[in-house]
Amino acid sequence: MGCAPHNGRVRILLVEDDPSVAASSLDGLRGLGFETEHVGTGQAALDVVTGGGTVPDVVLLDLGLPDIDGQEVCRRIRATSEVPIIVVSARGDEVDRVIALELGADDYLVKPYGMRELAARVRAVLRRTQTPASAPPPGAQQIGRLVIDRRAQRVHLDGQEISLTAKEFDVLSYLAEDPGAVRRRTEILEHVWEGHWYGATKTVDAHVAAIRKKLGDPGWVEAVRGVGFRMGAPEHA
C-alpha cells in the first residue's frame, strides 16, 4: 500500500524532462500545499523510489523521458514498490493509457491539464491506496473518516487527533448520536448545557463554527436554516 502523507503533507515526485513544464507544475503543486521534488530522467526517478531513501507519497510520471521510456520506469517501480503512480503525458491514445494502467499506473492524465484537476487526482489516488487506518477503539463511533471516542473524550480525523474543548466535544457527540437527524438549537442547549444556559441560542452557532473550523470541512456539521444542525459527512469522507 502507499505511504501515509508525512506530517499531513503529501510528498510528490515529479518526473518530467521539460524544464518549462516542470517549473510551472512545481509552482502549481507547491501553491496547492504539496511538497514536491523534481527529477528529469527515468533513472533518477528509480533512484528516488527504489534507492532505499524516503519514498514519495505519489509519483507523477511523464512517458517521454530522455533515457528510459516512462512505461518501462512504471514497470520497474511497480516491480518493487506500491507507491501510487499517476502518468501525466501528452500521449492521449487509448493504447498508451491501457499499457500504462496494465503496467501498474494508478491513473492517467493527458497534458495539458489544470492544477486543480491534478490535485484532485492525487487525492483520489491516495484515498484508494493508503493503508487503512487502524480500527477505532472498542465502543468508539466511526463516521467516515471521523472517529468519536466518548469514553476517552477524543476525536480523530484521518488518524489525527482533533483538539476540541469539552463543550465542542459534547456538541459534536450529541449530533453524532443520530447522524442525519436535525437537532434544534434549544435541544442542543438543553442536552449539552443541561438547562443551565439562559443566554441566546447563538452560543450553539459559535461552538458549531469552531467545530467546523477544526474539522476542516463544514459538511461535518450541516446547518438547517431556521431550525438547527445535523451531523453530516462530506462527500470525500
What is the residue-level pLDDT of the chain in tens, covering all 237 positions?
344 444 458 999 999 999 999 999 999 999 988 999 999 999 999 999 988 778 899 999 999 999 999 999 999 999 888 899 999 999 888 888 889 999 989 999 998 888 989 999 998 888 877 655 456 677 899 998 899 999 999 999 988 899 999 899 999 999 999 999 999 998 998 888 875 555 556 788 989 999 999 999 999 999 998 889 999 987 544
Residues with Cβ < 8 Å from 227, sequence gap 6 or more? 182, 184
pTM: 0.54
What's the CA gap between 121 and 99, in Å, rounded?
A: 19
**What is the assigned CATH class of domain 141-231?**
mainly alpha
* pLDDT at site 2: 40
List, by residue range, all CATH 1.10.10.10 domains of the chain: 141-231
* pLDDT at site 132: 53
Q: For CA atoms 42, 24, 32, 97, give the dihedral sign.
A: negative
* pLDDT at site 3: 42
List, by residue range, all CATH 3.40.50.2300 domains of the chain: 11-129
Look-up: residue for cell 518501462? 72
Q: Are 17 and 33 in contact (CB under 8 A)?
A: no
CATH 3.40.50.2300 describes domain 11-129: yes
